[in-house]
Amino acid sequence: MERSSSNNLPLVDSHLDLAENATLFGRDLTSSVAEIRAVEKRAAGQATVSLPELERGGIAVVFATVTAGFLAEDVGEGSEPGSAVYRTPEEAETQALAQIELYERWEEQGRARIIRSVGDLDRHLRLWRHDRRPGLVLLMEGADPIVHVPDLPEWWRRGLRMIGLTFGDTRYGAGVAGGGPTFKRGGLTPDGFELLGQMADLGFVWDISHLAEEGIWQGLDLGFPRVCASHANARALTPTDRHLGDEVMRAVAERGGVIGLVLYNGFLDPGWRRGEPTSVTFDEHLRRHASHIANLCGWNHVGIGSDLDGGFGLEESPLEIDTVADLYRVGSVVPADVREAVLSANWLDFLRISLPQTS
Ligand SMILES: [Zn+2]
């Protein structure tokens, strides 16, 4: 499936750390990827994502993350850059608000559109056919920036529509950052239960990525109505607790959720090690994960949550990826009759049933 400039399929990527790469790490995402690489001169973790590259790749909708940065307890006090470290909920809040402000600035500058409702989504997709500007659905990854549960309506007002409760541990629950072979214990805290209840009432989507499995079941058992995994692969193939077991994936699909495939080598091939030449491919490794999830859940519950540049870069991405504009190549591992669904329609349908009609 080669892409041509006349291709009007609006691709969806359900997980990209756009603002964080700017506010924490000083990357200018309004530049081309070639310019970012030339400025940074990195030997590893080279950029693959920027706003012009999203336009070039026909990526019409991105779940764009809002993060706290990194908890000092997790990464150590001396961790660099210091701007990426937080110690208190208030520092996490400041970081997250700076990221929302960046998304708002991009919107004011006409570089992107924030999608807050189904009405926004439909209008955006009409405009996108002509201007190719990416649409952003704001997704909080790790809820430490929510200082008090009663603050939630204010976050909604700022455009946030999706929340994952944890990255590492937060005061809302036990989290699994990168994952390991031992099963992380612990679930939701009392604050986590309260937050999830308020999220359900206000209309937020719950992203289960990075939550320890006990917490996932606690939330599912409450009957949370709008659930997805913005970026996770199959634990049966990459056996760490960062990924989803078969039963969890089935339960997400039964509730109408979608699971976004992560395009990080370490998550696609458990044998791959950082620093090794890339031997991971869509054709072999991504195909296995996609087929496994589709066999359990059906292709209508499979999407792309690439996480490109989310703590890794070109050297840690499959061979088919030079930049995010290569996302369409995921279609090569998906049966032709469901290609459009996986690349686009599954996530768009999920947004249509999950977002409010108007903002
Ligand atoms: Zn993540």
Q: Using one digit for the tens of pLDDT, what is the confidence trace for 21-67?
A: 999 999 999 999 999 999 999 988 999 999 999 999 999 999 999 99
Q: What per-residue confidence (pLDDT) applies to 5? A: 41
Q: What per-residue confidence (pLDDT) applies to 3? A: 55
Cα 316 to ligand 1 centroid, rounded to whole Å:
15
Cα 84 to ligand 1 centroid, rounded to whole Å:
15
Sign of CA dihedral 85, 183, 264, 344: negative
Cα 334 to ligand 1 centroid, rounded to whole Å:
24
Sign of CA dihedral 22, 85, 322, 61: negative
Q: What per-residue confidence (pLDDT) applies to 80? A: 82
Question: Who's near 326: CB < 8 A, 6+ residues apart?
Answer: 57, 320
Determine how many CB atoms are found less than 10 A away from the CB of residue 34. Answer: 13
Cα 305 to ligand 1 centroid, rounded to whole Å:
10
Cα 163 to ligand 1 centroid, rounded to whole Å:
12
Query: Within 13 Å of residue 67, how many CA atoms lie on the same side as its CB?
Result: 29
Q: What per-residue confidence (pLDDT) applies to 4? A: 45
Q: What per-residue confidence (pLDDT) applies to 97? A: 98
Q: What per-residue confidence (pLDDT) applies to 69? A: 87
Q: Are 310 and 19 spatial neighbours (Cβ–Cβ below 8 Å)?
A: no
What are the structure tokens assigned to 195, written together?
A: 């937050």
Q: Using one digit for the tens of pLDDT, what is the confidence trace for 144-155?
A: 999 999 999 999
Cα 180 to ligand 1 centroid, rounded to whole Å:
14
Q: What's the pTM value of the predicted model, to 2 decimals? A: 0.96
Q: Where are the domains of the chain?
A: 3-354
Cα 130 to ligand 1 centroid, rounded to whole Å:
31
Alpha-carbon span 146 to 152, nearest angstrom = 7
Cα 230 to ligand 1 centroid, rounded to whole Å:
9
Q: What per-residue confidence (pLDDT) applies to 276? A: 79
Cα 262 to ligand 1 centroid, rounded to whole Å:
9
Cα 182 to ligand 1 centroid, rounded to whole Å:
19
Low-confidence ranges of the chain (pLDDT < 50): 1, 4-6
Cα 194 to ligand 1 centroid, rounded to whole Å:
23
Cα 6 to ligand 1 centroid, rounded to whole Å:
33
Cα 307 to ligand 1 centroid, rounded to whole Å:
7
Between 3.40.190.10, 3.20.20.140, 3.40.50.2000, 3.90.600.10, what CATH number should domain 3-354 receive? Answer: 3.20.20.140
Beta pairing, strands 160-164 & 85-86: unpaired
Cα 16 to ligand 1 centroid, rounded to whole Å:
9
Cα 103 to ligand 1 centroid, rounded to whole Å:
19
Cα 21 to ligand 1 centroid, rounded to whole Å:
13
